[in-house]
Structure 1
Amino acid sequence: MLNKRTYTSLIAVLAFAFLQACTKNEDIPLEQRTEDVIYDKTDINGVYAEQALTNIYTFLPKGFNRVGNAFLDAATDDAVASDLVSNNINLLSKGTQSSTQTADEAYATNYGGIYRANLFLSKIDIVPVLTTTKQYWKAEARFLRAMFYFELAKRYGGVPLIGDKVLTPDDNAALPRNTYDQVVQYIVTECDAVSPLLQKEPVTQSGRATQGAALALKSRVLLYAASPLNNPGNDPAKWTAAAAAAKAVIDLNYYALNSSFVAAFVNRADKEVILGFQQAKNSNLERANAPIGYTTDLYASTGTTSPTQELVDAFPMNNGQAINAAGSGYNAATPYANRDPRFNATIFYNGAQWLGRAVQTYEGGSDKPNTAVTQTKTGYYLRKFLPDLSTASNYGLVDHNFSIFRYAEMLLNYAEAINESGDVLANRTIAYTQLTNIRKRAGITAGAGSLYGLKANMTQAEMRDAIRLERRIEMAFEEQRFWDVRRWKTAATDFNKILHGMKITMTAPGIFTYQVVSVEPIVFIAPRMYLYPFAFPELQANPALTQNPGW
């Protein structure tokens, strides 16, 4: 797992990044800031030690355009990458990933984070900071380590558990894989241990691990462990445990759904965000994802992500009814009118307002000129995570908060787990409550019986479908669907088909016709693609590491 070449290069990169952040004493040359300097037995403030802890946070999932400048969701039925050239995301969306050509490869990165956490935990007792401060820091490092193991397990299944050992190049690298269930149990045990030791909200530093973050990680881990991919016998006890874990986050009575669906993504601190990856204010998302016609000497947009017609059609009307439901009010001649408000906040469509003009994704329009190498393939661009710039004249610097965990997910986790834990009316009643709360916040109108467009008296199977739909539209582009469809074990169907877009033709000024067209296929080779392959160099470095089936 850690051969000398990998170990040396990894530590060199991490040390450089860490030392660049140090400001305690500029008289100390960078190359002399050793572990003895970082973990200083005379530093009552623990300045360098805290910077070492902060460095571990850089290994957390960063989301957004991170796989070949594409969202991970561009390897699902929700989107495709806009560019025409080869893109790493296509290794995932077309089933061409292999042990010698990988995308989203996270093995070395997450073990790098585990190494840094273990090193911190082995050294921090030397530093004479306050006992309460040290307790928080240790708990944060343990939480982060558990998070890194989850990132590994959801990709690879069982992986080697190292415990607290700080591996060196001279240690035996032949470490066998633990089972998936053993990794899950390790993560859950760590979450249980550290949650009471972490700070409780509110905290002064956004982005730090809290009690809520540990409980949210436990919720997601147990939900995955209860799902069909990892629970083939459908043990109801696993669903009950997952429901209890999600309920524990809700019962903290701190987090809440923001009245604005967009706010959680553009505020550094928000009561809906349980843990977010923090970064400096920027306009990177606007430039990467807004329609390509918005380009001047002041700004340039590259429209890298093209949401699919499949995702567009998944959004209901603003009365909560599916677009194909009788009486929904959907009109194919004006397909984007009166839709779920989350649709408007997620998708740039023809006619949407941005930077003082209407988006033009009709054939030959400013945002689909059919002359650019990169333009929308589907007639849509990605708007989610962006502030309202409909009347602005330029991109400003704003917070882009990638929510690793947010409260809406906990409600959906609870709804799914309680519905699956037993086919009884009481469970479905609880699930209804979570879904209606989310739809109410979205701005869907109540309708008869205040079910916000949901069918009354659903069966367990109907509720399952409703929860999965709500999860798709509420959590779009938050790196959920890629993993959800795998854990539900429906990828062989959901991710094996031709994806579609909308061809829009302007027949007269302001008059358009709409035609659904095929765009490109998505491919899923079952069962091997339910897990990632270990990269060939990792297999060479660790001879005890066995490859996943089919690779």
Structure 2
Amino acid sequence: MKNTNNKIITFLLLAAIMGACKKYEQFPVDKVTGNYVFDPLDSAGVNAQNFLYSVYAIVKNGHNRVGGDYLDAASDDAVSSKTGTGVAITLISTNAVTSFNFPGSENLWEGTNLSQPPGATGPPESFWAGIRNANIVINNIGVVPVKGGLPNGTTTAQVWRSEARFLRAYFYFELVRRYGGVPLMGDKVYNIADNLDLPRSSFADCISYIVKECDAIKDSLITAPVADADNYRATKGAAMALKAKTLLLAASPLFNGGNIDNGNPLTGYTNFDVNRWTLAAQAAKDVIDLNTYSLDPSFTDVFLTQNNSERIFIRPGSNTTSIETNNGPVGFQAGGTGNTSPTQELVDAFPMKNGLPVTDPASGYLASDPYSVLSDAKRDPRFNATILYNGAHWLNSTMQTYEGGISKPNSTLQQTVSGFYMRKFMGAFEDASTYSNHSSDWIILRYAEVLLAYAEARNEAEAAPQADVYQQLYAIRARAGIDPGAGGNYGLTPNMTQAAMRAVIQNEWRIEFAFEEHRFFDLRRWKLAQTVLNKPRTGVSIVKNGGDYTYNPVTLLNTVFQERQYLYPIPYNETAKNPNMKQNPGW
């Protein structure tokens, strides 16, 4: 594996060592003078580059990020296997959060490590800290006489400045999709003595700002493919993909005509404009036309093989078995606590290998063999790459998630509550006896997302889906391993209506990007959460009778979703100390 060359990981390790040696703090924003970090005599730019690494380190790794769970366990794709009160992801799912107590691991406004108290380790968690630190780079990097640059004449210092601007735009994007309009700070680095009673900018202004930043910096960033040591860095393609993602969010129903507070410019546009879909489609097409990225031939390798052609922007992780330790099935010597319990709803979303949904009588699906363990008609290969189910091959054994089975012993041991375990992101351990280290990088932007964004935006911009909409779905389904079929339609119905294609695209987002922090936000931006997330989440209780199984549906969690939950609450502390900081509706 090549993660040993990853500079963010190296920086974090070195920072801990240097902190122990009392040379200086890990993140020298307030502890080290600026002319030390941004030294006009440092032609190698070592200190400035280390500071830039620290801004990259504020980007989140999504694996078991929210109190030990995946964020999508607060969607309809999974529930937490943890029991008891105070499980962060369950609090979000059941509307048991307020502006006072929103879980810190998903409270990216305040974070839980903002002030870096004495003895604290790791980067600050607030994205406002990320924006401030990015501004420090933007304002000061020009004095560093670092050598080198790009063939187009962009100096290395200018490249680093553009990387900081990209990170700032990314932090803003993550805040905007959670909170709506937020204060736009410009390039100013605010200090405690400054007037901090800033108002929120409108949603429209925030989207415009992010898009303009991406346009301004794209030609002063490095271009993919990049060297192994640079696999974490922002590239031209990353800036363009972030622009497309931002415009897709802006065009989506929640913000484009579906504003939850009619006429409030902080919570979305105050009108509908179909041209927003056209802009999103064009931005995605611009990434496609780079001819830089392609779908990796193997769906599982996308997450395990570093520097593959599908990755656009990542948050690097260590070589580790932590994903398996946290999410692997119980009952094996290799270990695993099964934190994530996928739902029956997610399982049913995967079609058969012929591309037809399991509800289609022609699909070959058998209720008596729902996971196609014995049947000749198999499920979409992404199902096997995403879910561990009863009868699946794992650790040179067969999964037993029936009642009393080795992976569902019904003891006090934490275990699946749904009858399923998460398989995605784990190594190829089907025939292994134990787990071994592998990459745990978190992919923030990948090429399949660009293709689906283009398909969705094009479908919404036209009266009926055009051929290029179908082509993106064909490409994604072909890579997944779905059979093309006699007509080469990969199980899709020709000449669909816009509404029918919309449903197909939305399901494709779900199964392609399960557990990648898409479903949680997709249900919101499509303004479907009030319908979908007010239904119980279900699983299965499997009873073994000799060689036969009975599959009994069970309710796992009664979730609650109110209209106010489409946006997060501004933390109470912010609204209390700043009279200009307006709270989101309902909070």
With the shorter chain as reference, the TM-score category is: over 0.9
* Distance in 2, Cα, partners of 1:340 & 1:386: 18
* Distance in 1, Cα, partners of 2:318 & 2:403: 37
Corresponding residue of 2:234: 209
Matched, 1:106 2:129: no
Corresponding residue of 1:254: 292
Corresponding residue of 1:34: 33
1:388-537 map, 5 Å:
388-424=428-464, 427-508=465-546, 510-526=547-563, 528-537=564-573
- SS of 2:280 mapped into structure 1: helix
- SS of 1:500 mapped into structure 2: strand
- Cα deviation for residue 27 of structure 1 reads 9.5
The one-letter amino acid paired with 2:329 is P
The one-letter amino acid paired with 2:23 is P
The one-letter amino acid paired with 1:398 is H
C-alpha contact 2:350 2:511 (8 A) present in aligned 1: yes
Corresponding residue of 1:57: 56
- Cα deviation for residue 478 of structure 1 reads 0.5
Corresponding residue of 1:7: none
Unaligned runs of 5+ in 1: 1-15
C-alpha contact 1:18 1:51 (8 A) present in aligned 2: no
- From the superposition, tell whether residues 443 and 93 of structure 1 become closer, same or farther in structure 2 (CA, over 3 Å): same
Matched, 1:115 2:132: yes
The one-letter amino acid paired with 1:522 is T
* Distance in 2, Cα, partners of 1:124 & 1:362: 59
Of 277, 280, 289, the residue aligned with 1:239 is 277
Matched, 1:219 2:244: yes
- Cα deviation for residue 19 of structure 1 reads 7.6
- Cα deviation for residue 33 of structure 1 reads 4.6
Corresponding residue of 2:254: 229
* Distance in 2, Cα, partners of 1:382 & 1:439: 21
Matched, 1:326 2:326: no
Corresponding residue of 1:152: 175
* Distance in 1, Cα, partners of 2:44 & 2:402: 60
Of 139, 162, 168, the residue aligned with 2:162 is 139
Of 167, 176, 179, the residue aligned with 2:190 is 167
The one-letter amino acid paired with 1:20 is A
The one-letter amino acid paired with 2:368 is A
* Distance in 2, Cα, partners of 1:66 & 1:343: 23
- From the superposition, tell whether residues 460 and 175 of structure 1 become closer, same or farther in structure 2 (CA, over 3 Å): same
Matched, 1:194 2:230: no
Matched, 1:281 2:283: no
Q: Deviations over 1:167-204 (max 9, x none)?
A: 10101110000001100000000000001111111112
- From the superposition, tell whether residues 34 and 22 of structure 1 become closer, same or farther in structure 2 (CA, over 3 Å): farther
- From the superposition, tell whether residues 139 and 85 of structure 1 become closer, same or farther in structure 2 (CA, over 3 Å): same
- SS of 2:415 mapped into structure 1: coil
C-alpha contact 1:428 1:463 (8 A) present in aligned 2: no
- SS of 2:210 mapped into structure 1: helix
Q: Deviations over 1:132-173 (max 9, x none)?
A: 211210110000000000011001001000000001010111
- From the superposition, tell whether residues 319 and 454 of structure 1 become closer, same or farther in structure 2 (CA, over 3 Å): same
C-alpha contact 2:61 2:441 (8 A) present in aligned 1: no
C-alpha contact 1:78 1:310 (8 A) present in aligned 2: yes
- Cα deviation for residue 539 of structure 1 reads 1.8
- From the superposition, tell whether residues 402 and 28 of structure 1 become closer, same or farther in structure 2 (CA, over 3 Å): closer
Q: Deviations over 1:418-475 (max 9, x none)?
A: 0101214xx4211100001100100000112111001111011111111001111001
- From the superposition, tell whether residues 408 and 417 of structure 1 become closer, same or farther in structure 2 (CA, over 3 Å): same
* Distance in 1, Cα, partners of 2:388 & 2:58: 31
* Distance in 2, Cα, partners of 1:27 & 1:305: 39
C-alpha contact 2:419 2:542 (8 A) present in aligned 1: yes
The runs of at least 4 consecutive aligned structure 1 residues that moved more than 6 Å come to 16-19, 25-28
Of 372, 382, 388, the residue aligned with 2:422 is 382
The one-letter amino acid paired with 1:423 is A
Q: Deviations over 1:336-381 (max 9, x none)?
A: 0110000000001011111111111000011111113421111001
C-alpha contact 2:317 2:442 (8 A) present in aligned 1: no
- Cα deviation for residue 28 of structure 1 reads 8.7
Corresponding residue of 2:15: 20
- SS of 1:107 mapped into structure 2: coil
With normalisation by structure 2, the TM-score equals 0.87
* Distance in 1, Cα, partners of 2:276 & 2:58: 29
Matched, 1:184 2:207: yes
C-alpha contact 2:61 2:317 (8 A) present in aligned 1: no
- Cα deviation for residue 540 of structure 1 reads 2.6
The one-letter amino acid paired with 1:530 is Y
With normalisation by structure 1, the TM-score equals 0.93
Q: Deviations over 1:301-328 (max 9, x none)?
A: 0000000000000000010011110211
* Distance in 1, Cα, partners of 2:21 & 2:127: 33
- Cα deviation for residue 22 of structure 1 reads 8.3
- Cα deviation for residue 268 of structure 1 reads 2.2
C-alpha contact 1:289 1:303 (8 A) present in aligned 2: yes
The one-letter amino acid paired with 2:574 is E
* Distance in 2, Cα, partners of 1:488 & 1:194: 30
Percent of aligned positions that are identical? 48
Matched, 1:124 2:141: yes
- SS of 2:580 mapped into structure 1: coil
- SS of 2:462 mapped into structure 1: coil
Matched, 1:345 2:385: yes
- Cα deviation for residue 26 of structure 1 reads 11
- Cα deviation for residue 29 of structure 1 reads 2.6
C-alpha contact 2:94 2:561 (8 A) present in aligned 1: yes
The one-letter amino acid paired with 2:369 is T
* Distance in 2, Cα, partners of 1:99 & 1:142: 30
Of 576, 582, 585, the residue aligned with 1:540 is 576
* Distance in 1, Cα, partners of 2:382 & 2:89: 25
- From the superposition, tell whether residues 357 and 185 of structure 1 become closer, same or farther in structure 2 (CA, over 3 Å): same
C-alpha contact 1:379 1:503 (8 A) present in aligned 2: yes
Of 361, 372, 396, the residue aligned with 1:356 is 396
- From the superposition, tell whether residues 27 and 36 of structure 1 become closer, same or farther in structure 2 (CA, over 3 Å): farther
